[in-house]
Amino acid sequence: MRQSDAVSRLPLRPEIQAAAERLADTGVPSPRADAEQLAAHVLEVERSRLLLAPLLEPEQVERYRALVEQRARRIPLQHLTGTAPMGRIDLAVGPGVFVPRPETELLFAWALAHLESVHAPLVVDLCTGSGALALAIANARPDAAVHAVELDPAALTWARRNADARAAAGDTPITLYAGDVTAADTLAELNGRVDLLVANPPYVPAAAELDPEVAEHDPPQALFGGADGLDVIRAMLPSITRLLRAGAPAGVEHDDSHGAQVARLFTAAGYTATTEHRDLADRPRFVTATRG
């Protein structure tokens, strides 16, 4: 390396520190982690390998600082990197689709644990959004037949893009449907046959205060579930019941304000083994129940 090349390059650590301070000043919830994720994105390395790239080229510095400023304006990190993880896969995300959250990994883990004892399972994902749960399950269980439903055309475009990418990577293809999860004829050909059903529906109460990343960038139709946040969950429960075979479970994510309410809805519908699950912050996060 010529001395002039070394002089033109800038050390990474001070750039990350300055970025973290900038993001903290603007209220970003996880400034250091986001600063490191953006650096890893610019350098095209895993976050854990940042120490192996101690210097930045001038064009990398320029790009990094521009991304940090966008994040400081509370544009979602995943919109800047273009991806969000679920299980062992990364999904393409951006404007027009709900960004998968780390909390949903817990519902995914529950689904995989249940499927350990089921050979060649038939799985349904309602309100699939980007396809996150459906595609992560198909990746982890190549023997599964996975069907996913989404109503919003923009989100369905993202789901199809992700499904095509995973199929090209060698995963078992999933079947995507444009449909209303509350309609009596959606997936009617699967009635009484489904071994496991998962759903991450719109569940935010209408009056909830949300971070700018959510309020200004996630599509409202993927967020809000009426005044109490339960409109979609109530309306989709008959669909869940007609799809599941007897003895098969469902797992539904919900707002942290009404875990017990969702459990009561399932119990009132005749489900057994109804269980409330909490996330890593000890907040109510999803309910599982078995069709009687």
Q: pLDDT tens, 26-41?
A: 999 999 999 999 999 9
Q: Does residue 45 share a domain with residue 186?
A: no
Q: How many helices (H) and strands (E) does the chain have?
A: 12, 11
Domain count of the fold of the chain: 2
Q: Does residue 153 share a domain with residue 217?
A: yes
> Do residues 135 and 157 touch, judged by C-beta distance below 8 A?
no
Banded model confidence at residue 142, pLDDT cuts 50, 70, 90: very high
Residue ending a domain, among 31, 53, 73, is 73
Q: Does residue 103 share a domain with residue 69?
A: no
Q: pLDDT tens, 90-111?
A: 999 999 999 999 999 999 999 9
Structural domain boundaries enclosing 44: 3-73
- Answer whether residue 168 is part of any domain: yes
Query: What is the model's pLDDT at position 85?
Result: 97
Query: What is the model's pLDDT at position 53?
Result: 81
The secondary element (H helix, E strand) that includes residue 21 is: helix 12-25
Q: Does residue 137 share a domain with residue 32?
A: no
CATH number, domain of 7, equals: 1.10.8
Q: Does residue 137 share a domain with residue 160?
A: yes
Banded model confidence at residue 9, pLDDT cuts 50, 70, 90: confident
> Do residues 24 and 31 touch, judged by C-beta distance below 8 A?
yes
Q: Which of 5-14, 45-54, 73-82 has the highest mean pLDDT?
A: 73-82
Q: pLDDT tens, 255-288?
A: 999 989 999 999 999 999 999 999 999 999 999 9
Banded model confidence at residue 254, pLDDT cuts 50, 70, 90: very high
Which residue from 120, 169, 163 is spatially nearest to 145, judged by alpha carbons? 120
Q: pLDDT tens, 214-226?
A: 999 999 999 999 9
CATH number, domain of 177, equals: 3.40.50.150
Q: Does residue 158 share a domain with residue 258?
A: yes
Banded model confidence at residue 7, pLDDT cuts 50, 70, 90: low
- Answer whether residue 78 is part of any domain: no
- Answer whether residue 253 is part of any domain: yes
Q: Looking at the predicted structure, is the pLDDT value of residue 156 above 50?
A: yes
Q: Does residue 88 share a domain with residue 48?
A: no
Query: What is the model's pLDDT at position 1?
Result: 41
Q: Looking at the predicted structure, is the pLDDT value of residue 87 above 60?
A: yes
Q: Does residue 162 share a domain with residue 34?
A: no
- The pTM for the full model equals 0.94
Q: Does residue 280 share a domain with residue 197?
A: yes
Q: Does residue 188 share a domain with residue 64?
A: no
Residue ending a domain, among 73, 99, 115, is 73
CA distance 33 to 1: 31
Query: What is the model's pLDDT at position 52?
Result: 86
Tokens 């896969």 -> residue: 89
**What value does the mean pLDDT of the chain take?**
96
Residue ending a domain, among 27, 53, 73, is 73
Query: What is the model's pLDDT at position 197?
Result: 99
